[in-house]
Structure 1
Amino acid sequence: MDDRRELRKMPRGERCPECGSRKWYLQDGLRYCARGHQIEGFIQFEVGGEEAMGRTGPVARRKKEVREVEKRQLTGQEGKSLYVEAVQLLLRKQLEFLVRKKGHRPELETVVRDLWDLRIRGYGASIHDYDISESEPETFSSQPVAADMQEKLSWKPASRVQSWDPARGNGWPLPRMPETIALCYLGCLLLKIPTRLADLQNWVSAGTMPYLRAYVELPVEMQKRMPSAYAKALKLPLAGGLKGHDLYQTLLDTVFSYKVNYEMTFPEMNWFPMLVQYTKELALPVEVISITKRLVAILDHCFEFPALKARTTPFDHPEMKLLAFLVVSTKLCFPLNHGQSVSLASPSLPIPRFDWEKWKTGYTEQLEKLRSQILERPLFEELTPEKITNLEDGEFDAFVSYLRDTIGNNTKDTITSFFPVELDSPPQPSFPEVIESQVEKEAYRVLAEAVKADNNTAPGAKRYESFRAIQDLSETANVLFNAAGDAAGVPLDMLVRATYKLEQHLIWWQWNQPVINSESIIYAGVN
């Protein structure tokens, strides 16, 4: 027994994994340390043959199987591809909403799919031409472009127009979240579907059109594999929402990028149904529509995106231009100051008197309240600890849901595993969607109270009020401009600048007329 317990010294660098002993002995073909712990990974075998009977061969170490540990979050090119797939999935959900829920034509899916193919065509080519496995996220790239593309971009130096050339390699700009809304709008534009940008924004704010919860609604596996930088980009809409100014700018940048990369232009929008919709929402008389059509024809304007311009203004956006025409026509028909009168020299078209005071009262008390329901959004990111403690039960539940969606719930804590969070049913809209019939009914009531027949209007032209900046707006003008801006989802200053520029166009046209005949609009002056 003592001979079999003969202790030997282990090779240099080896120890017993249990006790750290460096001495071992052999027993029954197995190796044990001096304290009796079996040492795995060693086998003893016979040399073989009768002449070698009883002799033992050398001890060999069994190689352990090397396991490849797969990273949870993808990096490099794989991470970029996963982000592009996530944006594409969001775009598909948005198209499904427009076609199935809003009744848009099925061809919209084909048109937007072709636009999307043009948008990411350079990305597919760059995968094979460049090794970017160690590259950093380039979601919003600002790297310099090639010389030939720089020449195309020279006409628009201050914009965010992007080159989609695959030769940019690591600098190829990945699509941003608001571009999905812009592509849906451009698809409707190509099919002449009268969908306003404000409609898309309102559906997003109401939570019915997929956008705000884009990251939360991704498959769980995609959320786990998404790189942190791209996951943050997908979560931003839930924290910041979709702002009208950014959406309008994104749309212009997308249109100009298609022009630069593919020499592609977009047709004039189907503006007349949009004009009727704006007039109904603002509770304005139907005469405004007729005057707007006459004004558009007189100035020979079209509602399409500009092709090449050194600098863009709010008036260059087709919808902003249409809204400016509507505001100017309203002020021509029904002056904001009822002590003045601007006439239209057309006896066949009697213009009623419009009571702006009653319109202001009805709009601010009813219509504005209804419209604000769809535009309101709780700013959870601005809450302080004191405000959080004072939240009501429903508001606190919404705040906790917001935190879960924003931060995520990927903890590995053992205790929390015993208290699983119940998965929500399909998310309900966070913001109540205003019923169109309710808005139309209230607008009709406001309009009926404000319009009055007046056959004693004194003929002749009076001065026309024009406002160059926000601080110049009168009380009535401030309500009208704010109402129009809310209907279009744009800031007040953008609408004021667009309207003022149209008024300058109108003055220039009037100065170039040799004689103002009886069928022309009287534009007597500007305050």
Structure 2
Amino acid sequence: MASGRTKGPVCGIENCRSKWYDEGEDGYLYCENGHRSRTLIVGQDEDDFTPAARTRTRSQRNTDEIEKVYKYFKGQQAYDLYLKCLQLILRHQIWYLVHEKGLPVELETVVFALWALRIAPLEGKIAHIHDYDSQSQVFTTDESDIEHEGDTFASASRKEKLKGMPGLTDALALCYLGILTLRLPITPGDICDWATNGKLPYLRAIKHVPKSMKERLPARYHAYLDPNGLLQFHRFHSALVDLETSMANEYGIIWPTLNRPLLLFRYLKELALPLELYNATTRLAEIIKYDFTPPMSMNSKLGIRHLPEAQLISCLVICVKLLYPFDDLRRYPMTTSEPAATTINWEEWQSHMSTYRRDSRGPALLYTKGELANLQEKDIFSMSGRQLDQYLDWYKDAFIDWERIASSEDGQFRNALYEMFPTTEDRPQESSTELPDQSTMSNKLDVVKAVHSSMHPRKAIPNEEMKEDALRPGQGYAYYRKLEDLPEQAKHFYEEAARVVGLSLDMLIKAVFFTERKIERWRKDEKRRATGQRVEDAD
């Protein structure tokens, strides 16, 4: 097989150190241990024919490709790269809020200052991370956390909040804290709505990360930048409470109160409610001592009733139930000057609100992006042609990675197919289901006018003419502790109020009930105090 003369360097296959011998009958080199070289030895042709350039074998090409695709960072480098990717997404979020939604440019400075405070405690942790698979990496607020249940926000996570890995929800919470610091009339409902239906990066946020950074980022971190579900209200508020309390105790930050006048006026406009509710809500908040300040305590068990946003909307809902109840009972005011001297036709209110929501979808009744993400297989059969086109366009933009297709081996072939069979036609593209600001404002005012024109007066009866079985405004007040307790009209109102403020329907029901209990305790204290005063006077 071999002539005995050595040729070339040592073998090296499986740590073999023997030298290559001359080629065998098949044209390959062999060593004394029987290993065969990968390269075919091509001799000099007698006619001086120049052979083709040597190419790599398939196994070598596959090895190079695998190293190129899966050559990601580990340990400290991966941790640091993830934070840089998240910071880049945060920049996109701020850009959207400032340039698309018209918020002040100062928001960028405030949010970046909060971001610096958020990641400051991670410096020491990053320095001690050496192994990607190490169990020392603790993710306390990432997108893979189990959804919290119940009424409360766990205090254990707040104590270690600033030491844990930040996630996309933390980035959105920092944006809202910047808005809160500037006292802008923006609600958590706006943040969640923009993250679901707008361009505020959350779903498929990893698309905003450059390809060169994604290739170096381990798959574990990809999952944190690419959530597979919509943003949940409870998850957002949990991250928000954790950041508020942790930063307040760690850095001594005193968060400002909600901008109650602007927010309350906005609630009345969004829900097409009478202006008389403004003073009633303000007075009720003063009575039960709501200051609408974010919670600061680290040890107490914080719940929905401690959220300032929930406190404000619950006071408004209670005033609506007092002055314009949802039942059919007749309640007679003493004078025509009372706010309760008029009643809201809740059927008309529901009709006008539904019409406004339907008109905002356009003539084709297009879906919102949140609805597109929640569609089921059975919903396809009830779609119109335009709705089906919208769903396919959304799926293409959300889940097809064009960069990866272009860089693949058959990328040119796929692009040629897409050019032959385009996925979009020459039709107007609705980039968003949101209406222009001027049109939206005009439509909202039309709803307010229509609702107010449907209100009718209630007969006023003085005390001397009042019958024993007749009711005054506020009497026969109904408590709703569960979703099943809500009448149909009350359910629609609760849903609209929860959407505006950024709470789930269950969260709003509980917040209202907690405020009602607080009012009952205040009434008992006032009655006890009045009784004690009369006893002292008698003595």
Q: TM-score over 0.5 for the alignment?
A: yes
Partner secondary structure for residue 337 of structure 1: coil
Runs (5+) with no aligned partner, structure 2: 8-17, 32-39, 46-63, 142-151, 464-471, 531-539
- The question of whether the paired residues in 1 share the 8 Å contact of 2:194 and 2:200 is answered with yes
1:463 offset after TM fit, Å? Answer: 1.6
Q: Residues of 2 paired with 1:415 and 1:367: CA distance?
A: 45
Q: Residues of 2 paired with 1:474 and 1:106: CA distance?
A: 44
In the alignment, what sits opposite 2:102? 103
- The question of whether the paired residues in 1 share the 8 Å contact of 2:265 and 2:278 is answered with yes
Write out per-residue CA displacement over residues 380-426 of structure 1, whole angstroms, 9 at most, x where no aligned residue: 78548997999834433332333314x9735865333333368999x
1:201 to 192, 199, 203: 192
- The question of whether the paired residues in 1 share the 8 Å contact of 2:161 and 2:242 is answered with no
* Distance change >3 Å, CA 104–CA 36, structure 1 → 2: closer
In the alignment, what sits opposite 1:215? 206
Partner secondary structure for residue 166 of structure 2: coil
Write out per-residue CA displacement over residues 136-169 of structure 1, whole angstroms, 9 at most, x where no aligned residue: 6947249xxxxxxxxxxxx98655325267xxxx
Range with greater deviation from structure 2 (316-325 or 387-396): 387-396
1:502 to 498, 507, 515: 515
In the alignment, what sits opposite 2:27? 19
* Distance change >3 Å, CA 280–CA 21, structure 1 → 2: closer
In the alignment, what sits opposite 1:304? 293
TM-score using structure 1 length = 0.74
- The question of whether the paired residues in 2 share the 8 Å contact of 1:268 and 1:303 is answered with yes
1:344 offset after TM fit, Å? Answer: 8.5
* Distance change >3 Å, CA 419–CA 353, structure 1 → 2: closer
1:403 to 399, 418, 432: 399
- The question of whether the paired residues in 2 share the 8 Å contact of 1:79 and 1:226 is answered with yes
Partner secondary structure for residue 262 of structure 2: helix
Runs (5+) with no aligned partner, structure 1: 1-5, 24-32, 39-66, 143-154, 166-171, 518-527
Partner secondary structure for residue 14 of structure 1: strand
Q: How does 1:18-37 map to 2 (within 5 A)?
A: 19-21=27-29, 36=43
Q: Residues of 1 paired with 2:409 and 2:369: CA distance?
A: 41
Range with greater deviation from structure 2 (383-392 or 304-313): 383-392
In the alignment, what sits opposite 2:326? 336
- The question of whether the paired residues in 1 share the 8 Å contact of 2:93 and 2:201 is answered with yes
Q: How does 1:64-79 map to 2 (within 5 A)?
A: 72-79=71-78
In structure 1, give the amino acid aligned to 2:178. Answer: G
Q: Residues of 2 paired with 1:363 and 1:35: CA distance?
A: 82
In the alignment, what sits opposite 2:216? 225
- The question of whether the paired residues in 2 share the 8 Å contact of 1:342 and 1:463 is answered with no
- Report the structure, 1 or 2, having the larger helix content: 2
Q: Residues of 2 paired with 1:34 and 1:498: CA distance?
A: 82
In the alignment, what sits opposite 2:343? 353
Q: How does 1:56-455 map to 2 (within 5 A)?
A: 72-132=71-131, 135=134, 138=137, 140-141=139-140, 159-163=156-160, 172-236=163-227, 239-308=228-297, 310-341=300-331, 343=333, 351-367=341-357, 370=360, 374=368, 376-379=370-373, 382-383=376-377, 392-405=388-401, 409=404, 413-420=408-415, 431-435=432-436, 436-455=440-459
Number of residue pairs the alignment of both structures matches: 452
Write out per-residue CA displacement over residues 244-293 of structure 1, whole angstroms, 9 at most, x where no aligned residue: 22212221122122234334342211122111111111111111111101
Range with greater deviation from structure 2 (121-130 or 316-325): 121-130
In the alignment, what sits opposite 2:6? 10
* Distance change >3 Å, CA 431–CA 156, structure 1 → 2: closer
* Distance change >3 Å, CA 139–CA 214, structure 1 → 2: farther
* Distance change >3 Å, CA 385–CA 104, structure 1 → 2: closer
In the alignment, what sits opposite 1:468? 481
Q: Residues of 2 paired with 1:263 and 1:495: CA distance?
A: 30
In the alignment, what sits opposite 2:149? none
- Bigger Rg, structure 1 or 2: 1
In structure 2, give the amino acid aligned to 1:440. Answer: K
Partner secondary structure for residue 433 of structure 1: coil
Range with greater deviation from structure 2 (450-459 or 472-481): 450-459
- The question of whether the paired residues in 1 share the 8 Å contact of 2:314 and 2:511 is answered with yes
In structure 1, give the amino acid aligned to 2:234. Answer: H
1:374 offset after TM fit, Å? Answer: 4.9
Q: Residues of 2 paired with 1:375 and 1:397: CA distance?
A: 11
TM-score using structure 2 length = 0.73
Range with greater deviation from structure 2 (250-259 or 188-197): 250-259
In structure 1, give the amino acid aligned to 2:441. Answer: S
Write out per-residue CA displacement over residues 329-361 of structure 1, whole angstroms, 9 at most, x where no aligned residue: 111111222423275899576742222232233
- The question of whether the paired residues in 2 share the 8 Å contact of 1:95 and 1:109 is answered with yes
Q: Residues of 1 paired with 2:41 and 2:128: CA distance?
A: 61
- The question of whether the paired residues in 1 share the 8 Å contact of 2:85 and 2:209 is answered with yes
Q: Residues of 2 paired with 1:403 and 1:369: CA distance?
A: 29
In the alignment, what sits opposite 1:521? none
Q: Residues of 2 paired with 1:416 and 1:509: CA distance?
A: 70
Range with greater deviation from structure 2 (377-386 or 289-298): 377-386
Q: CA RMSD in A?
A: 4.0
1:88 offset after TM fit, Å? Answer: 0.6
* Distance change >3 Å, CA 284–CA 264, structure 1 → 2: same
Write out per-residue CA displacement over residues 422-471 of structure 1, whole angstroms, 9 at most, x where no aligned residue: 8999xx87641144314413422332233223453666452211111111
Q: Residues of 1 paired with 2:41 and 2:308: CA distance?
A: 88
Q: Residues of 2 paired with 1:414 and 1:191: CA distance?
A: 51
Identity %: 25
Q: Residues of 2 paired with 1:114 and 1:344: CA distance?
A: 56
Q: Residues of 1 paired with 2:379 and 2:253: CA distance?
A: 51
* Distance change >3 Å, CA 329–CA 386, structure 1 → 2: closer
- The question of whether the paired residues in 2 share the 8 Å contact of 1:83 and 1:230 is answered with yes
In the alignment, what sits opposite 2:37? none
Q: Residues of 2 paired with 1:264 and 1:383: CA distance?
A: 48
Partner secondary structure for residue 480 of structure 1: helix
Q: Residues of 1 paired with 2:120 and 2:318: CA distance?
A: 43
* Distance change >3 Å, CA 214–CA 471, structure 1 → 2: same
1:317 offset after TM fit, Å? Answer: 0.9
